[in-house]
Amino acid sequence: MEDQDFESIVTSHWGGGGARPPFQRAHSSPPLALICSSQYMRLESDGHLRLHQWSDDENQWLESDVMEISRHCDDSRRPCWSNGEYMMSGDCAYPKVCGEYGICTNGQCTCPHESNTNSNYFKPVDDRKANLGCKPLNPISCQDMQHHELLMLTDVSYFDNSHAVVNLTNRNDCKQACLKKCSCRAVMFRYGQNDSNGECFWVTKVFSLQSIKPEAAHYNSTAYLKVHLSPSRRYNSTAYSNSSSAPTPNKRKVILAITVPTTSILVLLLIVAILYLQRKRKYEDSDEDSEFDNLSSGMPLRFSFEKLRECTKGFSQKLGGGGFGSVFEGKLDEERVAVKRLEGARQGKKEFLAEVETIGSIEHINLIKLIGFCVEKSQRLLVYEYMSRGSLDRWIYNCHNNAPFDWCTRCRIILDIAKGLCYLHEGCRRKIAHLDIKPQNILLDENFSAKVADFGLSKLIDRDQSKVVTMMRGTPGYLAPEWLTSQITEKVDVYSFGVVILEIISGRKSIDHSRPEENVHIIYLLQEKARNNQWIDLIENNSDDMVSRQEEVIQMMKLAMWCLQNDSSHRPSMSTVIKVLEGTISVEADIIQSFLNANSAMSVQDKPYPYSVREASILSGPR
């Protein structure tokens, strides 16, 4: 080894028991500078951190890759190998495994190129060494931003997204934000089922990229690399559209000979297709009633679309929206109802009816009752009981319009929500995770009794299945940290419930960008106030009732801390939450200390602007 290759050397002595890792390379003698050391680590220029250990038995230096080992450690207190088996994950997650702009696919390096075309915007730094990376054919110029474009790379992500701080937005806004900022060299857009709501983050210096398989990663990812169009490419893109020479008579004959028969055939095919679709639709309509004859007697009432349009006066009085649809006020047999019209529903009829049957079978005093449904062609509607006081957010965020709740009312609402969630998690034949608990989905009746609403995002979980894999969904500000891994349980509802408790006490939103930067996130604010014993600062300003009963309020905040544990296994079940609220058990002190020492995962929450991944030289700093 030569000294100029060293980027960092850390000397240490191997300690502890357990099997040694398998070592990959050997040196016949140690470097003179380290002759007295039995072990040292070296950070290579390609990002690999390698451990070198002198073996007396073999009289040589042995080498292993520390970064590959630590990537798979489940317990940071012991080495990540057992029984001599070394756990490998491949090199694609290293920052410069394929150099700048290089794409790593199963350990192979390639340069980015436009799909289905021969256009090239990048070339290898060295044709014989693909791992040295790629460089743009035309360097990015901030003086000529109107000629910047984004090269789209489907199923490509950055070498490591785990520490990226993201902005939740749609695909187009994500791209435009990068094009408007010259320092942005690339942008990564990651989403679940719908690209209208995904994660966006910038990259100001492009290291290695990696190909992904969406079905294995449980998310979709598209990389957009900023490129600068050359003058010739700009000319070609405009010249082609402007160049149209007049056809000669012979050419006209050829064109007519081709277009007339082709057009006739297309028109004929179109007529046949229309007749086929009409016949098929007529058959489906006649068969629809026979399908409903087989429904179980426990199903909610079935309504026609015309009936629901009539009872809502043409869907004219909108109560609210969200959760894949809009809600309208209606009246059925002199009874007020809330009609939810689902938008973008991809379910087939059988799947929709199965979900309706499941939701309709759930009856609890703290859950909104499903009265009926409609399924006609592409129309999917649900009919719920009407709640006269509307949603909880109208009462806790707008206290200048409504009198603030007294403490007893707040406690009763919190207990009602807990009982509703407890029934979903523990009272049903199959556990149901709501996945979108927030004040907008908590409805109040005339007596301010709370009911959990909107099962549009709910997910059924078998009782013998501890986790269910699903795409990221829900609302920023209420998302538990485990959403980043897509391994979720009903404990994500417990986390969201903890956020709602804080909102009910403080009278503010979980994420409020109108406040000073240090007070934007309510969870960070709770940590700060609790550390400084300034609990009273979180109480809603104009609630003298809560100030006079601050000890009870502080106990409620401690319950919220328990629900907001980063590790889902440390959060209480909703039945345990009810016991705390009823005073039969209390929150333990070590739970509080664990919350104060934790770093809340704000990367899954909303941010006011996109962040880029930091340079490698900064990654070793505080997190």
- Does residue 486 contact residue 472 with C-beta atoms inside 8 Å? yes
Query: Tokens 């894999």 identify what position?
Result: 469
CA dihedral 370→376→379→385, nearest 10 degrees, is -20
Is 349 among the annotated ligand-binding positions? Answer: no
Q: Which pLDDT belongs to residue 273?
A: 93
- Does residue 193 contact residue 112 with C-beta atoms inside 8 Å? no
> Closest Cα to residue 189, out of 218, 157, 143?
157
Query: Tokens 């891994």 identify what position?
Result: 485
Q: Which pLDDT belongs to residue 589?
A: 81
Residue 363: count of CB within 10 angstroms of its CB: 9
> Closest Cα to residue 509, out of 606, 574, 421, 443?
606
> Closest Cα to residue 527, out of 435, 474, 595, 576?
595
The token pair that represents 512 in the structure block: 């409020």
The token pair that represents 171 in the structure block: 């695909």
Is residue 338 within a helix (H) or strand (E), and if so which, with residue range?
strand 335-342
User: For this structure, is 454 an active site residue?
Assistant: no
Q: Which pLDDT belongs to residue 623?
A: 27
The H-assigned helical ranges of 397-540 are 407-422, 491-506, 522-531
Strand partners, 329: 338
CA dihedral 453→455→456→457, nearest 10 degrees, is 110
C-alpha to C-alpha distance for 70 and 579, rounded to whole angstroms: 41
Q: Which parts of the chain sit beneath pLDDT 50?
A: 1-36, 70-89, 238-245, 601, 603, 606-623
Segments making up each domain of the chain, as ranges: 3-86, 103-231, 302-386, 390-604
Tell me: the pLDDT tens digits for 211-222?
A: 988 888 788 999
Strands 209-211 and 108-110: unpaired
> What angle do the packed helices 574-581 and 550-563 form, to 10 degrees?
170
Residue of 65, 416, 436, 454 marked catalytic: 436
User: What is the amino acid identity at position 232?
Assistant: S
Write 536-542 long-range contacts (CB < 8 A, 24+): 538/502, 538/505, 538/506, 539/505, 539/506, 540/399, 540/404, 540/505, 540/506, 540/507, 540/508, 541/507, 542/399, 542/404
Q: Which pLDDT belongs to residue 234?
A: 59
C-alpha to C-alpha distance for 373 and 325, rounded to whole angstroms: 14
SS3 labels along 343-408: CCCCCCHHHHHHHHHHHHCCCCCCECCEEEEEEECCEEEEEEECCCCEECHHHHCCCCCCCCCCHH
Domain 302-386, what fold?
Phosphorylase Kinase; domain 1 (3.30.200)
The token pair that represents 517 in the structure block: 């930067």
DSSP conformational letter for 426: I
Q: Which pLDDT belongs to residue 464?
A: 56
C-alpha to C-alpha distance for 494 and 563, rounded to whole angstroms: 6
> Could you tell me the CA-to-CA distances from 491 to 4, 104, 240, 340, 519 in Å, in that order?
52, 36, 58, 27, 26
C-alpha to C-alpha distance for 580 and 394, rounded to whole angstroms: 27
The token pair that represents 189 in the structure block: 């857009």
The H-assigned helical ranges of 373-468 are 393-396, 407-422
> Could you tell me the CA-to-CA distances from 621 to 23, 162, 481, 538 in Å, in that order?
29, 16, 22, 31
- Does residue 585 contact residue 576 with C-beta atoms inside 8 Å? yes
Strands 468-469 and 442-444: unpaired
- Does residue 126 contact residue 61 with C-beta atoms inside 8 Å? no
Q: Which pLDDT belongs to residue 88?
A: 33
C-alpha to C-alpha distance for 527 and 601, rounded to whole angstroms: 13
Helix, strand, coil share of the chain (percent; to 5): 35, 20, 45
Rg (CA), the chain: 31
- Does residue 199 contact residue 231 with C-beta atoms inside 8 Å? no
Question: Which class does domain 390-604 fall in?
Answer: mainly alpha
Q: Which pLDDT belongs to residue 75?
A: 44
- Does residue 11 contact residue 49 with C-beta atoms inside 8 Å? no
Q: Which pLDDT belongs to residue 20?
A: 39
Residue 296: count of CB within 10 angstroms of its CB: 9
C-alpha to C-alpha distance for 88 and 106, rounded to whole angstroms: 13
The token pair that represents 214 in the structure block: 């969406």
Q: Which pLDDT belongs to residue 296?
A: 59
Tell me: the pLDDT tens digits for 577-619?
A: 999 999 999 988 888 888 887 765 454 554 433 333 333 222 2
Residue 84: count of CB within 10 angstroms of its CB: 9
Report the Cα–Cα distance between both ends of the chain, in Å, rounded.
34
